Amino acid sequence: MDKRQPRSVRRTIGARTGGRSERVVTAVLRLAAEEIARAGYTAFRVEHVAERAGVNKTTVYRRWPTKGDLAEAAVLAFLGQHEPLPETSSVRADLVEMVRRAIAVASTPEGRAFMRLIAVDSTEPEVSALGRRLRASMMEHRAGVIERAQRRGELPAGIDPRVLLDAIFVPILSRVGRYEEDVDLATAEAFVDLALAGAQHGAARGHQEAC
C-alpha cells in the first residue's frame, strides 16, 4: 500500500503550530466544509471561502491549487481523517472506537452531506472523482488498524483490510448517513464482531483447504 501522504495533507505541513498560518488553515478548512455541506460541491466557491476567512484568494490557492484540492482537504479534516488511529490492546476495541467516532461525525448534518458525497457516484465527473479520492483516503487511513493487528498476529495475514473494513463501515454509515437512522454502540459492536468472526473463519477455512 502506498504510504505517501495525500496531497491535501502535504500542503498543510509547514504551518507553524499555534501561529497565524495554522489558524488560517484551520479557519479555511472549517469554512470550506460548512460551505460544501450547505451548498453542495457544484456551488462551492473558493473565493467565497477566502472572503469569509478574511484572506486573499491567492493565499488559499497557494496551499490548495484547485477547488477539488480544497474540498478534499476540508472534508477529510471534518471527518477526522488526520487524527491518530485508536490504539488499544485489541483490534476489536480499536475498530469499535473507530466506528464510534465515525457514527458521531456522520450523525451531524454536515457529516450526512459528506457521506452522500462520498458514497454516491455523480453524473458530474469532477464530483465522482472527488468521491473516489475521499473513499480511497478514508480506506487507507482505517486500514492502518487492520495492518497493525496483522503485524502482531491478531488477524490472519491473508485478510484484505478493505474487505473487512467495508463489511463494518458500509452498512453502518449507510444507515446513519443515507437513511438517517440511529445506530447505537451495541449495534456497532455487533457489526464489528460479525466481521471479525468472518475474517477468522475465512482464514481457517482457507488453511484447511490448503492442507
Domains of the chain: 7-77 (1.10.10.60), 79-210 (1.10.357.10)
When pLDDT is cut at 50, 70 and 90, the band that residue 179 belongs to is confident
Q: How far apart are CA 118 and CA 26, in angstroms?
A: 22
Cα angle for residues 25, 28, 31 (degrees, 5° grid): 145
Q: What tens digit of pLDDT does each residue of 25-56 get?
A: 999 999 999 999 999 999 999 999 999 999 99
pLDDT of residue 161: 96
Side-chain-side CA neighbours of residue 153 (13 Å) = 0
Q: What CA dihedral angle connects 53, 82, 129 and 162, to 10 degrees?
A: -160
As given in the structure block, the three cell numbers for residue 87 are 490504539
With a cut of 50, say whether residue 3 has pLDDT above it: no
Section 77-83 average pLDDT: 91
Residue 199 has pLDDT above 90, yes or no: yes
Could you report the per-residue pLDDT of 8-23, keeping only the tens digit for each? 433 443 344 457 789 9
HSE-CB for 173 with a 13 A CA cutoff: 27
